[in-house]
Structure 1
Amino acid sequence: MDLREYLARYPHDVAFGEEDPEAVFDRYHAPGFVLYNDGVVLDRERLLAHVRPARKRAVSVHTEIHDALIAGDRVAARYTLTAVMRRGDSITTEIFLFGELAQDGRLQRLDQLTRAA
């Protein structure tokens, strides 16, 4: 897996791509993937449910990657995600990510801490 590519492409592809969000999600995430975001557990279904309304409310998303590391089956990153909304406002979030890769190289688990930037 190319972690920098994932961080840059996945948010855009899942929110604005022409493919179904499910296909985009499955390309990057292994079966059974779980995200722990600020202590909230999000599985595939909950994450995809979050994407559908985001497709209607946002007009663009940009990722600024500050640090990204892969060591064996572990990943870590610090990045800023900015979403521009249809009403003209922006939401900017700094994200600290730690994760584990499945044997096939897709993400198996992510733990994220976020804060408004």
Structure 2
Amino acid sequence: MSVSHRPTAAADFAGYLRAYHADAIDGGDPVAEVWDRYHLPDGTHRVNGRVWDRDKILGSLRSRRSLGAPYELYIHEVTVEGRRAAARYTISTPMLGKIQSATEAAVFAELAEDGRVARTTAFSVTRPGWSGRERDEPFDSAARPAPGTSPASPPAEGEEPTPAQDPAHYLRTYYAAGYDVTVPVAEAHDRFHTPDALHQVGRKVMQRSGVLKALEEGRKLGHTYPVEVHETLREGNRFAARYTTSRDGNPERPQEVFAFGEFAPDGRVRSVRFALDPGYDAA
């Protein structure tokens, strides 16, 4: 890939992810040059709640390149709104036979005027896995919103917004209703989700019956999940959000969550995937 044809993050965020990883892992240019090609040198970057300075990032890139191992990049979802972007992807590296080391990642990025990445907040966890597992999820061609899709129309004056009109409203009101013992759990779910909605928390996949059971169990334990939304993006029928809630229902133990969802035409959510920091494994 020639320098002139490398995509910028602002022009093509999925293309940036592919080009950056190719140059950083397989390329021959110095990693410092590769990093600065796609990112502002003085940008701010946080991974799993910790700030990574430029030296730490470059050290990690050198370590990965020194392995000399092939990799496979699967881009599951990309959402772009203005000069902000979010993506969820997996990088797999063969280990032995069909066993792979899979790094599951999610990133929220702010894009600079020159097209490079100015700031990132990321989630990353590496686990062993099986070759081909990531192919069970959409990637690349299915990573973007479906053509011609859009959320429901904005609410009229005085009308309560629907989830599709405001991802932050969806998160706050769904968590509140879900753990409010005065609201039937079925109503709490169906108010915000289609009957066939898919929920994925970490590696645990749940449909309606599983979500209702989890809500009932949480209520019995007296769990509460206050929600502080840090940023949301919306593009077509897709949304992405980064927020903080409690870990295991304990408000004294904060838990950062990265959510990626898809709206149905009626404004409810038909799929949502939650990536949580490595301190929590829902597998």
1:50 to 60, 70, 93: 60
Larger radius of gyration: 2
Q: CA shift at 1:58, angstroms?
A: 4.1
Within-5 A mapping of 1:34-73: 34-73=44-83
The structure 2 residue matched to 1:111, chosen from 121, 135, 146, is 121
Q: Give distance in 1, aligned partners of 2:66 and 2:124.
A: 23
SS in 1 for 2:28: coil
Whole-Å separation in 2 of the counterparts to 1:44 and 1:13: 17
Structure 2 residue 25 is the aligned partner of structure 1 residue 5: no
Q: What is the deviation of 1:9?
A: 2.1
Alignment length (residue pairs)? 116
Cα 1:116–1:106 shift into 2, 3 Å = same
User: Unmatched 5+ residue regions in structure 2?
Assistant: 1-9, 128-283
Could you tell which deviates more after superposition, 100-109 or 49-58? 49-58
Most deviating of 6-15 and 88-97: 88-97
Structure with greater strand percent: 1
**Of 18-27 and 51-60, the range deviating more from structure 2:** 51-60
Shift, 1:115, TM fit: 3.3
For 1:13 and 1:102, the matched residues in 2 are separated by 20
| Percentage of pairs with the same residue | 34
- Matched to 1:96, the amino acid is A
2:6 is aligned with 1:15: no
Paired letter, 1:68: V
Output the TM-score relative to the length of structure 1: 0.86
Instruction: Tell me if the contact between 1:21 and 1:48 (Cα under 8 Å) persists in the aligned partners.
Output: yes
Selected match of 2:34 from 24, 27, 31? 24
Which residue is equivalent to 1:74?
Answer: 84
1:83 aligns with: 93
Instruction: Tell me by how many angstroms 1:116 deviates.
Output: 4.0
**How many Å apart are 1:34 and its aligned residue?**
2.3
Is 1:34–1:109's contact at 8 Å kept on the other side of the alignment? yes
The runs of at least 4 aligned residues of structure 1 exceeding 2 Å deviation read 87-90, 114-117
Q: Quick one: distance in 1 between partners of 2:125 and 2:118?
A: 23
Counterpart residue type for residue 106 of structure 2: F
Relative contact order: is structure 1 or structure 2 higher (C-alpha 8 Å, sep ≥ 6)? 1
CA offsets per residue over residues 67-113 of structure 1, 9 Å max, x none? Answer: 1122111010111111235x776320221111101121110111111
**Contact 1:58/1:84 (CA < 8 Å) preserved in 2?**
no
CA deviation profile, 1:18-74 (whole Å, cap 9, x unmatched): 211111111100131222111121122210011112112241122111111221110
